[in-house]
Amino acid sequence: MTLPLIGAIAERTPDIDAMMHGALAAPAPSPSSGIPDPPPSEIPGLGPLMEKFIGWGKWVVRGAGVIGILWCAAMMILGRRNRSAMAVEGAVGVPWVVGGMSLAAVAVTLVGSVF
């Protein structure tokens, strides 16, 4: 026995399977859908300024890398006796510093490969 209200709601409810089939069967937009994709271009007059900022960034990262390696070395040296956790923290920090410097070294190539 079906209650009249439930039957009326069931009749007005759209078929979920039909909706899902329609959504999944919709064509995917193609990459060449008419949206322009121009290459990167320099803003007139800002090229030298951008090169200066990139140079400053490289300089800062290089200095931070040297300081980071020296800091890890100091932690390993000072943590040698009775503070082994400090030595371990210094040793664990070395791959992070090297990883950060490696990422900075390939930054231009990595960004260039995306665009």
Question: pLDDT of 84-95, one tens digit each?
Answer: 899 999 999 999
**Residue 99 placed within a domain:** yes
**Residue 113 placed within a domain:** yes
**Residue 114 placed within a domain:** yes
The residue range of the domain holding 93 is 84-115
**Residue 92 placed within a domain:** yes
Q: State the pTM of this model.
A: 0.59
In the predicted model, what is the mean pLDDT of the chain? 81
Q: How far is CA 51 from CA 5, 42, 46, 55, 58, in A?
A: 71, 11, 9, 6, 11
Amino acid 88: pLDDT: 92
Tell me the C-alpha distance between 75 and 69, whole Å. Answer: 10
**Residue 89 placed within a domain:** yes
**Residue 90 placed within a domain:** yes
User: Domain tally for the chain?
Assistant: 1
Tokens of 40: 């990167």
**Residue 7 placed within a domain:** no
